[in-house]
Structure 1
Amino acid sequence: MILIITHKEDFTADFVIEKLNKRNIKYFRLNCEDIHTDIYNFENENDFHFNINGISNFTSVWFRRTKLPEIISNNEAEKLYLLSDYETLFDNIYNLIDTEKWLSNPQYIFKAENKLLQLKIAKSIGFIIPQTLITNSHKELKSFIDKFQNNIIIKPIRQGRIRQKEGFETIFTNKLSLDNIKTINEFDLTPCIFQEYVDKEYEIRVTVIGEKVFSAKINSQISNETKIDWRKEKMPFEKYELPKDISEKCILITKKLQLSFGAIDLIKKLNGEYVFLEINPNGQWAWLETELDLKISDEIINYLTLK
């Protein structure tokens, strides 16, 4: 049986579960925010194997998303204490599920979210990467900006979303404006990534599942809105065939990060070179399957069910 670790608003999980239902494949969907209403236990006589609602024979795990339960309490300290305990409970669940078949194991996902680690590994296996700087030194940043003649982008060091009252706001990759550059000393340099701006022919999204690679390109340079960050405007993707050596590097970096899944962003330069930007160890992909009929969900199911 497949264990799917997610939450109620994960529509990508819904996408795969619909296929599991059609194929009569057994699964248990653990919506993390409901963990306090499920019946779970770990028992030493059963070697502390995780059991939920009487089920413990999980042959594989698809780790998608998590969300903590809603704690109703007027005592903020008590609420934070209980939420911390639930986080620890989930850590125990991840470590004590009796299977080695994960897509992907959260301990490796959390480590792989380190963008500097990604870049270091990408460079070590032969990917071209942008010149990159993280610093809180105005002097170092000015030197970096001068080196690339003011042609610099800035992006988040971690995730690019801020929770607002009305929902989440995305922080996109942006170019440093000349006004920003002229007044750089007036800014506090908080942790973020500065990189040389790379001129593009187009951009590529690569989805890796085990040894399988699915790739699609987006002509991001035809719109001013999407030249820096293609997520700023909905544009169509096209099926794309990666060169064999680039495809192999995409599989290799996923393995080096001990992942079974990776969503990789690449740039195709005007001179034909491919540049690695980053890998999202648990990125979205359902829109690519819907638009281009890429068999990503089938490959996820194959990975989770084949021995």
Structure 2
Amino acid sequence: MTEKRPVLVLTEADDITADMVITELNRRDVPVVRFNPADIGEDLVISARFGTCPALVVGQVRTPSRTADVAQVRSVYWRRPEWPTFPHLPADDSRFAAAQVRHGLGGTLYALGDPLWVNHPLRVAAADYKPAQLALARRLGFAIPPTLVTNDPDEAREFVHAQGQAISKTLRWTPYTRDGVPVTGWADPVTAAEIDDSVRVAPHLFQARVDKVADVRVLIAGRHTFAVRIDSDLLDWRKDYSALTYTVQHLPDRVARGLHACLNRLDLVSGSFDLAVDRTGDYWWLELNPNGQWGWLETETDLPMAAAFADLLAQGDPR
């Protein structure tokens, strides 16, 4: 079945958040073609031609049940796609084949001129650097915790000691296992005495600890802004979701405007922001996740987040 003006949804097989948005699109009778780049082969076929007609690109993306005319795509929801790794091939062949998929399938999608991207992966990649986020946040008038990025252990010890209370956190999350067990990086307290020469191996992020009373997760989808206050006794609330309580929050206008301005500067139409509120009620910027999770927040608060994404993707207009 060739869909007319479909929304492309690129994500992994088990993605409850994407399911929520697709359900809302179905309610609007908006055709959806969902696929995962890792399924390239019999379950996913790309065929695109360039320079053969007045259109910049013509062709199709085909799955076993749906076909999308690439010239008719109205929007692309870039959720959590997985790229193939070809483990059955020799290492060099695997790397070669994976690169061809990224540049063939990905490159064809990037060549499409008209669709709205939520969000474009190249814009996501550019926005995903924490040091650059901090500089932009400061430029936009947000309070940011004093932060040091360094692989100099002496400077790290001096900085941490000067802050009184400090934390460390990863500059970028990556899949990681230890003794075969998946682990993740949290924002954790750190003291000067804990810093040793292993810091020299790679840059680390050290930051003054905000004397917060609550966290706030803010989701923006086009014109829609959803803010949820997260109360807990945790430094990093992600460590224990069962310990959290949620309250719908109204952001001060200047904070909301600043977050929208941030997305505009980064050429994004959606993003999940982590803020902290201190004892005086001031908001502190912590970080931006250009493609953050939000599905559980809709379940907890009944905020119409999926509907906002569906509206955005159906209209193909971020503003």
- Given residue 93 of structure 1, which amino acid in structure 2 is its aligned partner? T
How far residue 138 of structure 1 moved from its aligned partner, in angstroms, is 1.9
Is the Cα contact below 8 Å between 1:34 and 1:69 reproduced in 2?
A: yes
Q: 1:30 aligns with which of 24, 35, 42?
A: 35
Comparing 18-27 with 250-259, which one deviates more in the overlay? 18-27
How far residue 130 of structure 1 moved from its aligned partner, in angstroms, is 0.6
Aligned to 1:256, the other structure's residue is in SS state helix
Q: TM-score, normalised on structure 1?
A: 0.91
Deviations 1:147-176 (Å, cap 9, x if unpaired)? 212x11000001154256867422111010
Task: State the match for 2:83 in structure 1.
Answer: 68
Structure 2 gap ranges (5+): 1-5
Q: TM-score, normalised on structure 2?
A: 0.88
Task: State the match for 1:17 in structure 2.
Answer: 22
How far residue 83 of structure 1 moved from its aligned partner, in angstroms, is 1.4
How far residue 137 of structure 1 moved from its aligned partner, in angstroms, is 1.2
- Given residue 101 of structure 1, which amino acid in structure 2 is its aligned partner? L
Distance in 2, Cα, partners of 1:34 & 1:200: 44
Deviations 1:67-120 (Å, cap 9, x if unpaired)? 122525352221122112222224303311232411111110110011111111
Task: State the match for 2:232 in structure 1.
Answer: 220
Task: State the match for 1:257 in structure 2.
Answer: 266
Instruction: Work out the percentage of aligned pairs sharing the same amino acid.
Output: 28
Aligned to 2:275, the other structure's residue is in SS state strand
Distance in 2, Cα, partners of 1:187 & 1:63: 37
Is the Cα contact below 8 Å between 2:176 and 2:184 reproduced in 1?
A: yes
Distance in 2, Cα, partners of 1:271 & 1:72: 54
Task: State the match for 2:119 in structure 1.
Answer: 104
Comparing 69-78 with 238-247, which one deviates more in the overlay? 69-78
Matched, 1:192 2:207: no
Distance in 2, Cα, partners of 1:100 & 1:25: 14
Structure 1 gap ranges (5+): none
Distance 1:95 1:164, change over 3 A: farther
Task: State the match for 2:99 in structure 1.
Answer: 84
Q: 2:249 aligns with which of 232, 240, 252?
A: 240
Distance in 2, Cα, partners of 1:110 & 1:26: 28
Alignment of 1:113-192 (within 5 A): 113-149=128-164, 151-159=165-173, 161-163=175-177, 168-177=182-191, 181-189=192-200, 190-192=202-204
Distance 1:165 1:302, change over 3 A: farther
Distance 1:160 1:241, change over 3 A: farther
- Given residue 140 of structure 2, which amino acid in structure 1 is its aligned partner? I
Aligned to 2:176, the other structure's residue is in SS state strand
Deviations 1:171-209 (Å, cap 9, x if unpaired)? 1110104xxx22523433322211001110111000011
How far residue 255 of structure 1 moved from its aligned partner, in angstroms, is 1.2
Distance 1:192 1:94, change over 3 A: farther
Aligned to 2:199, the other structure's residue is in SS state coil
> How many residues matched?
298
How far residue 146 of structure 1 moved from its aligned partner, in angstroms, is 2.4
